[in-house]
A = this chain, B = another copy of it.
């Protein structure tokens, strides 16, 4: 009666990880491919995850004093060329609008791949004196970067993100702000809400954002041992300020260029969520993120059962649990149970006629696994604890995987070997260096980031003792 379908609904991860990923995205109804190559349709369940991410992150961003604004989608092509490295980095990925309102445009415009250039155009107008600094702006927006090898959520030609852009009076202030976003906004959010494990580090010169003097990154290990960049925070130095004349009158009455940062996190986080926490039965959503933390399922459609599932739903809601009642008993119970498994809802409370007699319900825990009968009256008190336990378990499992699959090595060959076996390698940066980095690239292995000996974020590439974390990456 309660037996679940035994045939796997997804391609097992061990068999074909990319196929498993694609299957899961599709069957959990997270997203579909769009009609234009590389674009995607984010379906309601996937978008619900994004909304929860946005809400939480937005509050954390605002706590830093940053305000939201909105800049145009369309940027004159000439803006991009003002910062030399920037245009070199983005030119191959641009989507270009040549016609508008039925006419050919005098100057083609590009769809923003990121907004440093157009934002600096306005910063240069808004910033006059030291009183206007720091200027801390964020926007939630879509951007387009043409993708030749698209993959849903991970690499899409259009994606959704937030991009922060700030201007400061001094180098130190900008540096500290970029670090604060890196660790206290992105790091705290991804660890505490997404239950993600990652390494906080610094990109090598080779891997920096086009136009930055320093890029800070969060690198997570996915279920197949590959790395995924989860978010980045850049120190832009005065590169864009110089290109756009973004300057201020200092207290001493001198015109000075501002120091800037930019930082972004994207819908890619949904892909990371799938690949970090998913298993062969589907997604596992961290309870603190989950739009639906518990689903209460009616096994059969008789009146007593239907009344009870709604009663339980109300009680759980009153206990602060985000709950959904599933009373669609015209669909077989097994199919619905598999569907909620796929979607990764942390807890299922299953209620049938026999349960009513006993005053119990079946409690199925998606994250830890297992199913046991519990007294219906205890549910409201029990669930918040269960959800917090499972939140922690996800983080522990992710950390355990990264630690067990990371090895310390001393040569490029060993590093290549370790990553080919589905893991990460740590190698002294003094040993590897830019030359070793180039050799790794021949094997599709990259330096994900540099960390200090004790795992902190280094102040410079060449800080003695720096360790390179190397991996294959998405």
Contact = CB atoms under 8 A, between A and B. Distances in A.
Interface in A195-228: none
Interface stretch (A89-97, A333-341, A459-467): A89-97
A36 B74 contact: yes
Interface residues of A, number: 57
A76 B35 CA distance: 7
Interface string A118-132: 100110010000010
Contacts of A36: 72, 74-76, 109
Interface in A82-126: 91-102, 108-109, 111, 118, 121-122, 125
Given A68-B44, A137-B44, A101 B148 contact: yes
Given A39-B73, A41-B70, A74-B144, A99 B92 contact: no
A36 B125 CA distance: 17
Tell me which of A32, A34, A70, A148 has the highest count of chain B C-beta atoms within 10 A of its own C-beta.
A70
A121 B51 contact: no
A74 B34 contact: yes
A158 B73 contact: yes
Nearest to A29: B126
Contacts of A92: 101-102
Contact of A96 (B41, B76, B99, B158): B99
Contact of A160 (B34, B70, B100, B146): B70
B98 A69 contact: no
Given A100-B96, A157-B100, A142 B144 contact: no
Contacts of A148: 101
Nearest to A51: B68
B101 A98 contact: no
A454 interface: no
Contacts of A40: 72
Contact of A72 (B41, B73, B330): B41
A42 interface: yes
A97 B97 contact: yes
B72 A35 contact: yes
Nearest to A101: B146
Contacts of A97: 95-98, 111
B71 A41 contact: yes
Specify how many copies of this chain sit in the oligomer.
2
Per DSSP, are chain A's interface residues mostly helix, strand or loop, or mixed? mixed
A47 interface: yes
A145 B278 CA distance: 41
Contacts of A94: 99-102
A329 to B, nearest CB: 12
A189 interface: no
B35 A100 contact: no
A32 B122 contact: yes
A414 interface: no
Interface string A305-333: 00000000000000000000000001100
A79 interface: yes
Interface string A225-254: 000000000000000000000000000000
A371 interface: no
A67 interface: yes
A100 B109 contact: no
Contacts of A331: 131
A292 B96 CA distance: 40
B95 A74 contact: yes
A436 interface: no
Given A47-B70, A97-B97, A35 B158 contact: no
A191 interface: no
Contacts of A71: 34, 41-42
A305 to B, nearest CB: 20
Given A51-B68, A73-B142, A92-B101, 13 more contacts: A36-B72, A36-B76, A43-B69, A44-B67, A47-B68, A48-B67, A50-B70, A73-B158, A92-B102, A93-B101, A97-B111, A100-B157, A101-B147
Q: Identify the 8 closest CB pairs spanning chains A and B, nearest first.
A: A101-B146, A39-B72, A44-B67, A34-B72, A96-B99, A42-B70, A36-B74, A100-B146
